[in-house]
């Protein structure tokens, strides 16, 4: 084959190689562009993840701070109520329906605060709060400072309850001790006796007995 005859084929091959090279260059450029976009996207996602982590930490800090402020507000409210002598009315009584339902699984059908009764012989007895459910009587004793002696005294109050309220003589009684704050040793003693213990918390009065605690039915 003559050189003249080969030239068109060579020109065609050179053109094809040029087109192929251009396509390869465009492909390489597109790959580089996509790679750059993926790196930028990865960086953006990393920044977004960091921002979300910071936001989560800020929300956690805000939640903790709100809880601390709420607890402190309740504590101050409790101190004020204690000074005014209205801790039962202001803190304990409003919490009893929730506490009784939480601990006993029952609804209160009658709630008396500062319940007083006089016997025919002239004796008078006042109870801080009495909450009645369809099957139980919950007797509350509230102290600004709860001591072990107060725990033991509640046993006697249960006997007095049945003496002053004969209608409760055959009804199981659950003892509830309420205070502003409770020491661990007193809490353990009260829990061993089977008494529910309440103290200031996030929701006014909170149950402080250990997990799994089951109140005694006297």
Query: CA 208, CA 170: separation in Å to the nearest integer?
Result: 28
- Is residue 193 situated within a structural domain? yes
- CA pseudo-torsion sign 153, 159, 164, 168: positive
pLDDT value of residue 22: 74
Q: Looking at residues 65-70, what average pLDDT do you find?
A: 72
Domain boundary (57, 84, 111) is at 84
- Exposure string of 57-82, with b = 16+ CB inside 10 Å and e = fewer, is eeeeeeeeeeeeeeeeebeeebeebb
Sheet of 173-178, strands arranged across: 110-118, 124-132, 137-142, 173-178, 196-201, 204-207
30-59 per-position pLDDT tens digit: 777 877 787 887 777 777 777 777 767 777
**Owning domain of residue 79:** 1-84
Is pLDDT above 60 for 188? yes
Mean pLDDT of the chain: 83
Query: CA 119, CA 80: separation in Å to the nearest integer?
Result: 34
Of the listed ranges 149-158, 176-185, 198-207, the one predicted with least confidence: 198-207
Q: How many CB atoms lie within 10 A of CB 214?
A: 10
Domain boundary (22, 51, 84) is at 84
Q: Looking at residues 116-125, what average pLDDT do you find?
A: 93
pLDDT value of residue 15: 66
- Is residue 37 situated within a structural domain? yes
Of the listed ranges 64-68, 78-82, 96-100, 163-167, the one predicted with least confidence: 78-82
Q: Looking at residues 3-12, what average pLDDT do you find?
A: 59
Of the listed ranges 47-56, 88-97, 102-111, the one predicted with least confidence: 47-56
Token pair for residue 120? Answer: 């025919």
pLDDT value of residue 84: 45
Whether residue 139 is found in the same domain as residue 194: yes
166 vs 30: which has the higher pLDDT: 166
- Is residue 216 situated within a structural domain? no
On the 0-12 / 13-18 / 19+ scale of CB atoms within 10 A, 47 is: exposed
Supply the Cα-derived Rg of the chain in whole angstroms.
38
pLDDT value of residue 71: 75
Query: CA 131, CA 153: separation in Å to the nearest integer?
Result: 19
Whether residue 57 is found in the same domain as residue 124: no
Q: What size, in residues, is the chain?
A: 218
Strand-pair category, 124-132 with 137-142 = antiparallel
Whether residue 72 is found in the same domain as residue 161: no
């Amino acid at each position: 084959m003559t050189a003249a005859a080969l030239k068109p084929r060579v020109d065609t091959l050179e053109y094809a190689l040029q087109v192929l090279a251009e396509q390869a260059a465009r492909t390489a450029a597109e790959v580089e562009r996509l790679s750059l976009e993926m790196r930028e996207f990865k960086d953006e996602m990393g920044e977004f993840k960091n921002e979300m982590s910071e936001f989560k930490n800020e929300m956690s800090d805000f939640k903790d701070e709100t809880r601390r402020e709420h607890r402190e507000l309740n504590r101050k409210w409790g101190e004020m109520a204690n000074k005014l002598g209205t801790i039962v009315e202001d803190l304990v009584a409003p919490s009893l329906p929730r506490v009784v339902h939480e601990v006993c699984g029952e609804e209160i059908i009658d709630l008396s605060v500062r319940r007083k009764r006089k016997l025919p012989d002239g004796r008078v007895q006042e109870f801080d709060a009495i909450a009645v459910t369809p099957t139980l009587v919950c007797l509350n004793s509230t102290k600004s400072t709860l001591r072990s002696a107060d725990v033991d005294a509640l046993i006697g109050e249960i006997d007095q309850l049945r003496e002053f309220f004969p209608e409760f003589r055959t009804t199981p009684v659950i003892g509830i001790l309420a205070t502003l704050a409770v020491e661990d040793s007193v809490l353990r003693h009260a829990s061993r006796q089977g008494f529910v213990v309440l103290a200031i918390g996030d929701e006014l009065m909170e149950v402080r007995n250990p997990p799994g605690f089951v109140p005694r039915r006297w």
